[in-house]
Amino acid sequence: MQNNMIIGLLDTGIYMGAPSFSDQGYGPAPAKWKGKCRAAFNFTGCNNKVIGAKFFNLDDMDDGEEMSPIDEDGHGTHTSSTAAGVPVSNASFYGIANGTARGGVPSARIAMYKVCWGIGCSDMDILAGFDEAIADGVDMISISIGGPSKSYFDDPIAIGSFHAMRAGILTACSAGNEGPNLFTVQNVAPWILTVGASSIDRQFKVAVSLGNGARSSGVSINTFSSGNRMLPLTSGTLAANSSNTRYGNASVCDYGTLSPAMVKGKVVYCVESMDQENTIKKLGGIGIITSTDLQSDLADTTLILGTTVSSKDGMNIDRYISSSRKPEVSISKTRDVRVLAPFVASFSASGPQSISPNIFKPDILAPGLGILAGYSKIPSVTGDPTDTRHSIFKILSGTSMACPHAVATAAYVKSMHMDWSPAAVRSALMTTATPVKVENRLDELSIGSGQINPVRASDPGLVYDIGMKSYISLLCYEGHNDTMIGLLIGGKTKFSCSSLKSAHGVDGINYPSLHIQLKNTSKVSGVFFRTVTNVGSSKSVYTATVMPPQGLNVEVIPRKLTFDRPGQKQSFKVIVKGAIKNSRKKSEVVTGSIAWSDSKHVVRSPILIYVGR
């Protein structure tokens, strides 16, 4: 069944030279496929694995790039192979993360819609990509593109995904990488599956050894190594040029503040520095150590020998440099270390959101930290023109990497339930997700329903279904005017909210999670109305188990749901009342859950109350 699933991706294109896209063993494209491969002189064409590739440049965003589906960035190749790449043994990035690289649904077909170019992704191209993907007959759409959240009627991803939903196609989108700051979540339309990033059970570590025997551990994707040699070490502070005309801060290695003679042939320590590798390389430096007081789970590929250490280790390195007559250091190549997982990635965007404030986004977490997948050999591995390294695999992090993991899971579920709506598939992923522990309460705003669980999602027991009319009723409920909603729907008939049954409850929609967003009050009072559809056993009885948020009372009416047949629907309501303690001076989050269970299934919905100050 899965080899008939077609995943459409709107991205930067695709590099057919990546082994992840081999079509060995594949037959022709499914009969439902109506798309094609758009010819271009530097594009090798499609095959029975990548069955479609098109490009769109309606807004002249190409910045001098070739008019072709070919991926000159690498992003689209990475997301495509993450979603559906075939297994490739002995895959690695210069020996790092060696193993078998495999997409989430390796038997599925891929269709690429190139809507992003060197200077961005235009609204016109995104909408055109949606139109083509829908017309071509894809089963799922994956979009690892984002930007500041805006009105659904001004957002090309919200508009395009609405029309995809109407055609029975689920759209999964990345939640954004501006976390852990609040109100940073992107792609929040209620018909989208919004995906945050979680970890896998490995991290990338670099050993740093000083001449005095002190050792520390850094985080980076460092393909270089000093081997057994000790290298000369200095700091930005000591390497400052003596010119009175310099501008910036030498301790952080700002461009123009360092003396080439003091940097040449040395490893340079830069305090709290970002993106100074190019500066050190241009000045003849052979390596860089940076420090940060931020959470160190994000490993980037270095341009030169280098790594990032904690601020505490950085201070120790700085003291050693200042106190030693001949400071030296050795830096190892990156090695992967096993760690407990999952946890939410430090950069993964956080709710709540302001467009539909009582709908909890992101929906779900999926692996997005340190993901090895296919890559384009056209750009260098860092994108720097002086970097001579090119690779058909690369390690990347971001919610861009999480999104194709989630869409692959959705395709897997859909392949077993072809008659399910996009909302039913999303519900299956959300209600079967594994809860993720967090250290900070506000981090609850980043995890959605938890970590995807593909096996459980294929048999969720119950689903919270939502049809197009319910989404439109929500838009009316939220106060959007008839004209704007009519433009979103399209068609010649004039639309009026009065023609629909009014939504009700706190959020006005049958969403799999429950969320109340408050401002400057600790008192909570709300009612949610929900309907679940039986997709499990013919005869089953589900009982509700409630874990109320701290200080609140949660009542479920009724507490028991009886089903006699598949497809049967049962409704219930959830009453949440009480007061949140300790919320007078700062923002606060309290969480709980409702879980419906029979002898086989557990259908869990998180409850999250946010009080803003």
Q: Which residues of the chain have pLDDT under 70?
A: 1-3, 61-63, 244-246, 295, 582-585
- The two tokens of residue 350 are 């956080």
Q: What is the pLDDT of residue 295?
A: 67
SS3 329: strand
Q: Which CATH superfamily is domain 2-199+354-457 in?
A: Peptidase S8/S53 domain (3.40.50.200)
Q: Are 586 and 602 in contact (CB under 8 A)?
A: no
SS3 65: coil
Q: What is the pLDDT of residue 246?
A: 62
CA distances from 487 to 191, 227, 480, 482, 491 (A): 17, 63, 12, 9, 8
For helices 399-416 and 75-84, the axis angle rounded to 10 degrees is 30
Give the pairing type, strands 552-557 and 569-579.
antiparallel
Nearest CA among 161, 138, 159, 171 for reference residue 53: 138
Dihedral angle over CA of 221, 223, 227, 230, nearest 10? -60
Q: Are 207 and 333 in contact (CB under 8 A)?
A: no
Q: Are 367 and 199 in contact (CB under 8 A)?
A: yes
Question: Which residue of the set 400, 470, 473, 605 is catalytic?
Answer: 400
Cα separation, 331 vs 309, in Å, equals 12
Q: Are 420 and 101 in contact (CB under 8 A)?
A: no
**Could you tell me the pTM of the whole model?**
0.95
Q: End-to-end distance of the chain based on CA atoms, in angstroms?
A: 50
User: How many residues are listed for the chain in this entry?
Assistant: 613
Q: Which fold has domain 462-466+510-612?
A: Immunoglobulin-like (2.60.40)
Nearest CA among 204, 203, 202, 194 for reference residue 452: 194
Cα separation, 596 vs 464, in Å, equals 12
Tell me, rounded to whole angstroms, the distance of Cα 548 from its chain centroid.
29
Non-local (6+) Cβ contacts of 557 within 8 A are: 572, 573, 574, 575
Q: What is the pLDDT of residue 191?
A: 98
- The two tokens of residue 519 are 């401002």
Q: What is the DSSP string of 532-557?
A: EEE-S-SSEEEEEEEEPPTTEEEEEE
Region at 234 (left for phi over 0; alpha for psi -120 to 50; beta for the rest):
beta
Q: Are 100 and 89 in contact (CB under 8 A)?
A: yes
Which DSSP helix (H) or strand (E) runs through 168?
A: none
Give span(s): CATH 2.60.40.2310, the chain. 462-466+510-612
Cα separation, 433 vs 11, in Å, equals 27
CA distances from 266 to 171, 221, 287 (A): 49, 20, 7
Q: Are 88 and 101 in contact (CB under 8 A)?
A: yes
For helices 422-431 and 156-166, the axis angle rounded to 10 degrees is 110
Return the exposure string of 181-197: e unless at least 16 CB atoms fall within 10 Å of the residue's CB, then b: ebebbbbbbbbbbbbbb
- The two tokens of residue 244 are 């009175």
Cα separation, 24 vs 602, in Å, equals 40
| β-bridge mates for residue 555, sequence order | 575
- The two tokens of residue 172 are 């999964």
Cα separation, 4 vs 48, in Å, equals 11
Give span(s): CATH 3.40.50.200, the chain. 2-199+354-457
SS3 468: helix
Give the pairing type, strands 231-235 and 267-270.
parallel
Q: What is the pLDDT of residue 274?
A: 73
Nearest CA among 204, 22, 193 for reference residue 102: 22
**SS3 assignment for 219-287:** ECECCCCCCCCCEEEEECCCCECCCCCCCCCHHHCCCCCECHHHHCCCEEEECCCCCCHHHHHHCCCCE
Which DSSP helix (H) or strand (E) runs through 93?
A: strand 88-93
Enter the CATH code of domain 202-338.
3.50.30.30
CB-count burial class (<10 Å; 0-12, 13-18, 19+) for 92: middle
Cα separation, 110 vs 130, in Å, equals 15
CB-count burial class (<10 Å; 0-12, 13-18, 19+) for 389: middle
Dihedral angle over CA of 65, 66, 72, 78, nearest 10? 120
Question: Which residue of the set 11, 71, 363, 465 is catalytic?
Answer: 11
Q: What is the pLDDT of residues 161-198, one digit of tens each?
A: 999 999 999 999 999 999 999 999 999 999 999 999 99
Q: What is the pLDDT of residue 535?
A: 97
Q: Is 161 a catalytic residue?
A: no
CA distances from 249 to 258, 259, 466 (A): 9, 13, 55
Cα separation, 183 vs 445, in Å, equals 9
Dihedral angle over CA of 250, 253, 256, 259, nearest 10? 70
Q: Is 397 a catalytic residue?
A: no
CB-count burial class (<10 Å; 0-12, 13-18, 19+) for 17: middle
Question: Which residue of the set 68, 75, 107, 226 is catalytic?
Answer: 75
For tokens 């954004």, the residue is 176
Q: Is 400 a catalytic residue?
A: yes
Q: What is the pLDDT of residue 459?
A: 97
Give span(s): CATH 3.50.30.30, the chain. 202-338
Q: What is the pLDDT of residue 119?
A: 86
The DSSP call for residue 133 is: H
Which DSSP helix (H) or strand (E) runs through 135?
A: helix 123-136
Nearest CA among 238, 176, 185, 230 for reference residue 208: 230
